[in-house]
Amino acid sequence: MAREQHTVAVVCPHPDDESIFCGGTIRRLADAGHRVVVIAATTGDAGEPDPDGRDLAAVRAAELTAAATILGIDAVRHLGFADSGLGADRGPGSLTGAPLDEVVDRLTETLADERVTALICDDADGIYGHPDHRRCHEAAFLAAERAGIGYVYEVTVDREHLHFVETHLVATASDALAESAPGSPAVFGRSTVEIDLTVDVGDALTAKRAAFAAHASQLPTGSPVMVLDDDAFRAVYGLEWFCRLGDRGPLDDLTG
């Protein structure tokens, strides 16, 4: 029996989060015939500055478009909020500075426009606690309810697994958050027993690595992640992890 085809939305706080945390799953969903839409909540303008002085928001939008082509993404949508960064001074145009209802309204409208039937968003702690990641979870959860989406998955990382491999980008980000926002716990992801699905993305690693490279402003050639050899890259990024909210859906089919 043919499996049901879905339009799967991936709500990412910043351009590059889609590739880092679930790029392999996206590629596998696309290869299985599902339509995948990435919705970038922020412009990522508080990321690492562009070395050539170009407008970072424009650079990162172009990088996301390039990564989307590599991963088989059908559409890229932008909610248009500014990156909140790690500090406490967040303006009204930022994702965390805007009223939650405004964020949910924009996201719900986008989900309806794209006729989304399944959704991937961050876990409740924002994977590693970044304020934009937390806000994305809040907004996505509420928007999915409004839109009547029955298949919702929270992307996370298995922190126990990551103890045994080279450093994952999430660990570096967690350390940066703890340094920039004293009092933030230097913890990330979920324990193994809390995770519902582990997706093996070994067959999609070439695409995933190329998508990383597309985000060159944040993951430049010569950075620790980009110089990993193939075996080390597979050990760190060859699995992707999710918690399921609601019914079994298209991601479950990837694990069977």
Per-residue pLDDT of the chain (256 residues; tens, 9 = 90+): 457 899 999 999 999 999 999 999 999 999 999 999 999 999 999 888 877 888 999 999 999 999 999 999 999 999 999 999 886 557 778 999 999 999 999 999 999 999 999 999 999 999 999 999 999 999 999 999 999 999 999 999 999 999 888 889 998 888 877 777 666 666 799 999 999 999 999 999 999 999 999 999 999 999 999 999 999 999 999 999 999 998 899 999 999 7
Q: How far apart are CA 153 and CA 130, in angstroms?
A: 19
State the residue for tokens 């392999």. 24
Residue 243's pLDDT is what? Answer: 98
Is residue 28 within 8 Å of 58, Cβ to Cβ? no
Is residue 220 within 8 Å of 226, Cβ to Cβ? yes
From residue 107, give the alpha-carbon distance in Å to each of 131, 137, 171, 206.
17, 12, 28, 31
**CATH of 7-244 given 3.40.50.10320, 3.90.226.10, 3.40.30.10, 3.40.309.10:** 3.40.50.10320
Residue 50's pLDDT is what? Answer: 79
Is residue 176 within 8 Å of 170, Cβ to Cβ? no
The H-assigned helical ranges of the chain are 17-31, 56-71, 100-114, 126-129, 131-147, 169-180, 205-214, 230-237, 250-253
